[in-house]
Amino acid sequence: MVSAPSPEAYAGLAQTLLKQDNVPAAEEASRAALQAFPASALAVATRGDVLFRRGLIAEAQGQYAAALRLDDQCARAWLGQGKVEAVLAHRHQALKAVTRAHDLEPEDGDALYEWAIRQPYPGNVAGLEKHLSEFRSDPETEGHERDYLELLKALAGRDVWILKSDVSRSELKLDALTTGPNFMLRGYGVRVKFNGRAAATLLLDTGSSGVIITRKFAEKIGARKLSDKNLEGVGKSGAAHGYEAWVDQINIGDLEFHDCFVHVIPGAVADTDGVIGTDVFEKFLVTLDFPARKLRLDPLPEAPAAAEDGASLSRDPRSPIQVYAFGHLLLLPTEVDTKQSGLFVLDSGGNISTVSPELAKRISQMRALNTPVHGTSGVVNSAQIADDVGLRFGNVLRKERIITVDMRSVSKDLGTEISGQLGFSTLERMRITINYRDGLVEFGLK
């Protein structure tokens, strides 16, 4: 006799499909679960998991809250709520919710992972070792987890990127970086000196984290290898194989950082000696004034009072935008020609704005054309292009040329759908202020 499906069976199926990155099938399973068991907290939370993967964060948050109203002992609902709190930069609330999920279901692999990465050393190492030994995933995901684990072991709990100079605010000059025979403006860079030995102009990139340099330059400055590392990004070459390296001292203008680790890859990055992510300056209020060619660093404002039950996106166009922070990536809800929408990466390192092939199918202006797009993993050719497409994010409306780029591997890695990137061609006439602590971004127009 075959037993009738249960909420647990539906939830298990949906989670398996999500791990396989079969989002349409997971969508179908979550809808079936909710239809069959509308009063089940687990079914409601599972629906939230699928919405989160589709990039519908606010809708997912609503499902998790509804699940907890049905049953405040539902571990999957607490886990989902914790992930939402994390991307809203509510770190304390995220840790509290994820810990509750792990306490309720210690054998849930997802809850174990989210709990482990938030523990101090050596608890994070022990938790990740347990997760890798007891739970299976695809080779790519497990490879990323092993890379991170090896870095944690190599750092052994040491403080890193320690700001030694007594500087409360600073202003740095941005250097124009060009590409191609026509010397097209590629982006802006800042001058960075390593170990007091050599300096390089690194591309300033809101879509990257930390510092990325070439192997040749790493050897020149005496950077010491810590652990292996693959870097994901846009590019036809897939992950860039490199390593994490230790640098004793990094100077950027009047800022002096000690005990730093950097990412090293074999070849040139985006036609430059390297890339510096704006999150390096996360202890400051970061303003990229592209028209003035200045990077301004100011003290952070007073921290806001803790939000209750999470926070929704700011609806006041005069206020800074609450973005979704997935690690170093800042995702903004963006409308395309007022008809379509999705989460777009704020990516000043990308030379042009992009949309995913899935979103492009719903944009009538797209036409076939190959255009090179520079990314961390090399150069990839676009399949389609469109001109004068309206992009609206926050208080900004731009008519831009957009191209398609396949972002599936990045979406899978993040666990949420990326529908496009706001590249340098869109951002170069703006003044962008980033508050990493609170997950806020503000745009000023030229």
- For the stretch 53-92, pLDDT in tens is 999 999 999 999 999 999 999 999 999 999 999 999 999 9
Among candidate residues 411, 409, 354, 410, the one with its CA nearest the CA of residue 384? 354
Indicate which CATH number applies to the domain containing 409.
2.40.70.10
Give me the pLDDT at residue 119, please: 98
Domain-embedded: residue 96:
yes
Measure the CA dihedral 335/362/383/176, to 10°.
-10
Domain-embedded: residue 389:
yes
**What's this model's pTM, rounded to 2 decimal places?**
0.91
121-130 b/e (C-beta count within 10 Å ≥ 16 → b): eeebbebbee
Does residue 329 sit in the same domain as residue 374? yes
Does residue 291 sit in the same domain as residue 332? no
Which of 82, 103, 118 lies at the terminal end of a domain, its last residue? 118
- For the stretch 187-239, pLDDT in tens is 999 999 999 999 999 999 999 999 999 999 999 999 999 999 876 554 444 55
Does residue 100 sit in the same domain as residue 208? no
Residue ranges of the chain with per-residue pLDDT less than 50 = 1-2, 234-237, 309-315, 317
Give me the pLDDT at residue 270, please: 64
Indicate which CATH number applies to the domain containing 106.
1.25.40.10
Domain-embedded: residue 201:
yes
Does residue 390 sit in the same domain as residue 278? no
Residues 6+ apart with CB under 8 A from 384: 357, 360, 366, 367, 368, 369, 403, 404
Does residue 327 sit in the same domain as residue 287? no
Q: How many domains does the chain have?
A: 3
Residues 6+ apart with CB under 8 A from 91: 85
Give me the pLDDT at residue 442, please: 96
Does residue 274 sit in the same domain as residue 353? no
Q: For residue 6, what are the CA distances in angstroms to 36, 77, 109?
A: 9, 17, 20
Q: Give ∠ CA 247-248-253 in degrees, rounded to 5.
A: 90
User: What 3 state SS string does the chain have?
Assistant: CCCCCCHHHHHHHHHHHHHCCCHHHHHHHHHHHHHHCCCCHHHHHHHHHHHHHCCCHHHHHHHHHHHHHHCCCCHHHHHHHHHHHHHCCCHHHHHHHHHHHHHHCCCCHHHHHHHHCCCCCCHHHHHHHHHHHHCCCCHHHHHHHHHHHHHHHHHCCCCCCEECCCCCCEEEECEEEEECCCCEEEEEEEEEEECCCEEEEEEEECCCCCEEEEHHHHHHHCCEEEEEEEECCCCCCCCEEEEEEEEEEEEECCEEEEEEEEEEECCCECCECEEEEHHHHCCCEEEEECCCCEEEEECCCCCCCCCCCCCCCCCCCCCCEECEEECCEEEEEEEECCCEEEEEEECCCCCCEEECHHHHCCCCCCEECCCEEEECCEEEECCEEEEEEEEEECCEEEEEEEEECCCHHHHHHHCCCCCEEECHHHHCCEEEEEECCCCEEEEEEC
Which of 264, 298, 332 lies at the terminal end of a domain, its last residue? 298
Which of 64, 85, 118 lies at the terminal end of a domain, its last residue? 118
Does residue 440 sit in the same domain as residue 325? yes
Give me the pLDDT at residue 313, please: 44
Does residue 216 sit in the same domain as residue 263? yes
Domain-embedded: residue 186:
yes
Domain that includes residue 219, residue range: 162-298
Does residue 345 sit in the same domain as residue 414? yes
Domain-embedded: residue 127:
no
Give me the pLDDT at residue 117, please: 98
Domain-embedded: residue 123:
no
Does residue 183 sit in the same domain as residue 235? yes
Does residue 377 sit in the same domain as residue 276? no
Domain-embedded: residue 140:
no
Domain-embedded: residue 149:
no
